[in-house]
Amino acid sequence: MEEIMYDLIILGGGPAGLTAALYGARAKLKTLVIESKIEGGQITNTTDVENYPGIDMINGAELGAKMKKQVVEFGAEFVYDEVVEAELKEEVKKIKTKEKEYEAKAVIIATGADPRKIGCPGEEEYAGKGISYCATCDAAFYEGLEVYVVGGGDSAIDEALFITKFAKKVHIIHRRDALRASQTLQKRAFDNDKIDFIWDSTVKEIKGDMTAKELVLENLKTGEVKSITSDEPFGIFVFIGYVPNTKLFEGQIEMEKGYIKTDEEMHTNLDGVFAAGDLRIKTVRQVVTAASDGAIAAVNAEKYIAEKEGKLYEGFKENK
């Protein structure tokens, strides 16, 4: 199988990967983006994105498509394929997909992290249609309505508190009879009149028509099954953790609980290998922070390549 050499290969076509590709292509690097599913990553599951600077509101899939179009217009290549092997420790990085093999001087890993799913019937069907995994993205759509939050850790309680700025009432569904969140967050939640708790329960099924309209819960102690319905739309926010897409890089890249360790310049522990977006150890995972990571990673990849080739690195220029 013939190997194709690139200056920069970016693994993942979400906001982090596409921003990195934009900066790489504008820097005249021979740039390739490899995406296994659809451009845009997780934002394609968001019906309306209204917190991206300069854009009033846009469908998530449309934003992903616009990002890809801009990247390709600047000269980056984009392929849909699945990476099955990555050799990153040597100076020349080797990426093997189901279809081809590639080589690169530098690699940016931007394969993202997926929200951990409940795994119940109806969840996939109503994702983005009443079910959300991002309060910052979608809480405002439930102004004056009731919301159900699934989870009991720090992220679930923190997000539930945020949602109270918009929702009429927030019901936290937790599979245990005590929260796992920090004591500080717990106190804030217990003291908030807008929050109540449904203990010892899991979501058994989600039903609806065009949107989610019925929530079926099971009490794990009593076995009782009950349905929650409403004449008004209601939101279901799921915060039970994330699963970073980094398994392929285990044994090469330093990680913590599956998340890749980087410095502020997006360097990993391997020379010429950078990471950007939700798979990094970080506290905020938003479209805009992913884009920021991608830009920083690409600028530093350009610098790395220039120094390896003995060229003077002049820094990224806006007129490139």
Q: Write out the catalytic residue numbers.
A: 134, 137-138
CA distances from 172 to 102, 121, 175, 198 (A): 47, 20, 10, 6
Distance CA 214, CA 237 (A): 14
Distance CA 175, CA 187 (A): 19
DSSP label of 245: S
Question: Could you tell me the end-to-end alpha-carbon distance of the chain, in angstroms, rounded to an integer?
Answer: 34
Instruction: Dump strand ranges (E) for the chain.
Output: 3-11, 31-35, 77-80, 83-87, 93-97, 101-109, 113-115, 131-132, 146-150, 169-173, 195-198, 201-208, 212-219, 225-229, 235-238, 242-244, 255-256, 259-260, 273-275
Q: What angle do CA 301, 303, 304 make, to 5 degrees?
A: 65
Ordered alpha helix ranges (H), 108-152: 123-126, 135-138
Which residues, listed in sequence order, are joined to residue 219 by a DSSP beta bridge? 201
Distance CA 148, CA 180 (A): 18
Contact 12, 244 (CB under 8 A): no
How deeply is 92 buried, as exposed, middle or buried, from its count of CB atoms within 10 A (0-12, 13-18, 19+)? Answer: exposed
Which residues, listed in sequence order, are joined to residue 4 by a DSSP beta bridge? 102
How deeply is 145 buried, as exposed, middle or buried, from its count of CB atoms within 10 A (0-12, 13-18, 19+)? Answer: middle
